[in-house]
């Protein structure tokens, strides 16, 4: 914009922003894609893989993510301790109960490019199981991103007028 | 439609003993009726929500179902169809999130009402049952839980995990230990194939295997 000084525009273009995502009732995969895009810097027109233009992303309420289907029981996370007989497989439920941040962390890790800058990008990802964020991170936040999935309303969240306005399909 | 017995003044002709025997069942239901206990000749068919009223006159107990005057709501756009879903043209348009629709076909403890009562056709009854199951598993019907026996203490606290579009029951599913390679992956099923023909209002296709 012509009204800004050149230095101010330069600063606004190359500054590293802090984004906030609320993962309550959201599928962790969709949260992870949003995080991965912003950690790499692919949402910026000045993107270049070597330029380190990624932003910080803060994910809160990672304890309250929602998996579609029966993924809590069927999805397995595997690891190997590198000792013989050290192959471990854990279901998503067990992993989530052990560490509520692990599922989102592994999802984002798998979506970042497999190069050396992946570790620095993961350092810029901040995960919190609940919505109590520390003071210094709250001061840094610039934008909250919209949630990818529309949360359906429970039956008791509908008001009496809405319930009456809905026509009865059949009479006994 | 199935023949319905109307609980009207016909019941007053029955002896006090018979009505007392059935009154223990009927006192549970206050507003919804038509569970015919005895076959009565001279069946009159009528529709409407009835209020069960008990009157005691000396030794005889009279149980009456008085038809309540419900205000006539909006008329269905296709009144000549048999199934209520087809009457309102909602064939492929509902999902597990439409709780206001699904709650009209369930009992207070979460079970489905029988098809001969609601008048649904077989396919739609099955689809509604599937959507009700998915809504229960997603926690969208918190007030329609079955009543637990008194003094029931759960042995292990179950993990409160959010889920949606769950096809299979939680305890029945086994983990996928060997998922396979990308070209032959053992996919996780999401949603239900009965809802395959649902209208998609965006450009996204409905994925049933994730």
Residue A5: pLDDT above 60?
yes
Closest chain A residue by Cα to residue B143: A156
Closest residue to B97, CB basis, from A152, A169, A172: A152
The pTM assigned to this predicted structure is 0.82
Average pLDDT of B77-97?
Answer: 93
Q: Which residues of A touch B193 (CB under 8 A)?
A: none
State how far the Cα of B192 lies from the Cα of B171, in Å rounded to an integer. Answer: 18
Cross-chain residue pair B140–A73, CB shorter than 8 Å: no
Tell me the H-state helices in B74-114. Answer: 84-87, 99-102
Q: What are phi and psi of A87, to 5 degrees?
A: -80, 120
Cross-chain residue pair B175–A72, CB shorter than 8 Å: no
**Percentage, residues of chain A above pLDDT 70:** 99
Cross-chain residue pair B99–A166, CB shorter than 8 Å: no
Residue B162: pLDDT above 50?
yes
Q: What is the pLDDT of residue B44?
A: 52
Task: Determine which of A82-86, A103-107, B3-7, B192-196 has the lowest per-residue pLDDT on average.
Answer: B3-7
Residue B29: pLDDT above 50?
no
DSSP structure string for A79-127: EE-SSTT-EEEEEHHHHHHH-TTHHHHHHHHHHS-SSTHHHHHHHTEEE
Q: In the structure encoding, which two tokens stand for residue B5, read together?
A: 């017995």
For chain B, the maximum distance between any two Cα atoms, rounded to a whole number of angstroms, is: 79
**Strand extents, DSSP E, B22-110:** 50-57, 60-67
Residue B99: pLDDT band with limits 50, 70, 90 = very high
A contact residues 80-99, partner B, Cβ 8 Å cutoff: 89, 91, 93, 96-97
- DSSP class of residue B7? -
Residue B192: pLDDT above 70?
yes
- CATH number of the B79-146+160-169 domain: 4.10.640.10
* Mutation to test the B interface, candidates A74, A97, A162, A168, most B Cβ within 10 Å: A74
The ipTM of this complex is 0.91
Residue B46: pLDDT band with limits 50, 70, 90 = low
B48 against A63, higher pLDDT: A63
B contact residues 103-162, partner A, Cβ 8 Å cutoff: 103-104, 117-119, 138-144, 159, 161-162
**B59/chain A closest Cα distance in angstroms:** 32
A contact residues 126-165, partner B, Cβ 8 Å cutoff: 152-156, 158, 162-163
Cross-chain residue pair A166–B101, CB shorter than 8 Å: yes
Q: Which residues of A touch B210 (CB under 8 A)?
A: 68-69, 71
CB A54 within 8 A of CB A40: yes
In tens, the pLDDT along A89-120 reads: 999 999 999 999 999 999 999 999 999 999 99
User: Sign of the CA dihedral B94, B99, B105, B106?
Assistant: positive
CA A97 to chain centre: 18
Nearest residue to B141 via CA among B191, B101, B103, B95: B103
How many Cβ pairs within 8 Å bridge chains A and B?
123
In tens, the pLDDT along B1-12 reads: 444 444 444 444
Average pLDDT of A29-45?
Answer: 97
The ranges assigned to domains in chain B are 79-146+160-169
State how far the Cα of B47 lies from the Cα of A168, in Å rounded to an integer. Answer: 13
Q: Does A124 touch chain B (CB under 8 A)?
A: no
CB B39 within 8 A of CB B56: no
Closest chain B residue by Cα to residue A163: B100
**A146/chain B closest Cα distance in angstroms:** 18
Q: In the structure encoding, which two tokens stand for residue A88, read together?
A: 């471990």
């Amino acid at each position: 914009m012509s009204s800004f000084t050149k230095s101010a525009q330069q600063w606004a273009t190359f500054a590293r922003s802090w984004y906030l995502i609320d993962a309550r009732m959201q599928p962790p995969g969709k949260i992870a894609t949003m995080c991965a895009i912003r950690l790499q810097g692919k949402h910026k027109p000045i993107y270049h893989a070597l330029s380190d233009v990624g932003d910080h992303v803060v994910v809160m309420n990672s304890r309250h993510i929602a998996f579609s289907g029966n993924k809590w029981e069927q999805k397995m996370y595997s690891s190997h301790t590198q000792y013989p007989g050290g192959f471990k497989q854990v279901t998503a439920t067990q992993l989530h109960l052990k560490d509520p941040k692990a599922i989102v962390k592994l999802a984002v890790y798998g979506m970042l490019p497999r190069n050396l800058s992946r570790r620095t990008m993961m350092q810029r990802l901040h995960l919190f199981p609940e919505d109590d964020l520390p003071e210094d991170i709250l001061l840094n936040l610039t934008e909250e991103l919209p949630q990818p999935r529309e949360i359906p309303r429970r039956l008791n969240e509908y008001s009496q007028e809405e319930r009456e306005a809905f026509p009865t399909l059949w009479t006994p | 439609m199935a023949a319905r017995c109307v609980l009207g003044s016909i019941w007053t002709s029955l002896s006090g003993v018979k009505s007392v025997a059935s009154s223990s069942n009927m006192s549970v239901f206050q507003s919804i009726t038509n569970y015919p206990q005895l076959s009565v000749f001279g069946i009159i068919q009528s529709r409407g929500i009835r209020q069960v009223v008990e009157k005691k006159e000396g030794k005889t107990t009279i149980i009456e179902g008085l038809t309540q005057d419900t205000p006539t709501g909006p008329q269905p756009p296709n009144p000549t169809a048999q199934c209520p879903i087809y009457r309102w043209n909602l064939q492929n348009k509902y999902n597990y999130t439409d709780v206001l629709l699904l709650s009209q076909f369930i009992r207070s403890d979460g079970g489905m009402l029988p098809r001969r009562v609601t008048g649904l056709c077989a396919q739609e009854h099955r689809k509604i049952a599937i959507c009700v199951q998915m809504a229960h598993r997603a926690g969208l019907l918190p007030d329609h839980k079955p009543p637990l026996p008194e003094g029931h203490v759960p042995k292990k606290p179950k993990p409160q995990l959010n889920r949606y579009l769950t096809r299979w029951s939680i305890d029945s599913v086994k983990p996928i230990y060997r998922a396979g390679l990308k070209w032959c992956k053992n996919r996780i099923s999401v949603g239900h194939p009965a809802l395959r023909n649902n209208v998609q209002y965006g450009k996204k296709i409905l994925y049933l295997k994730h």
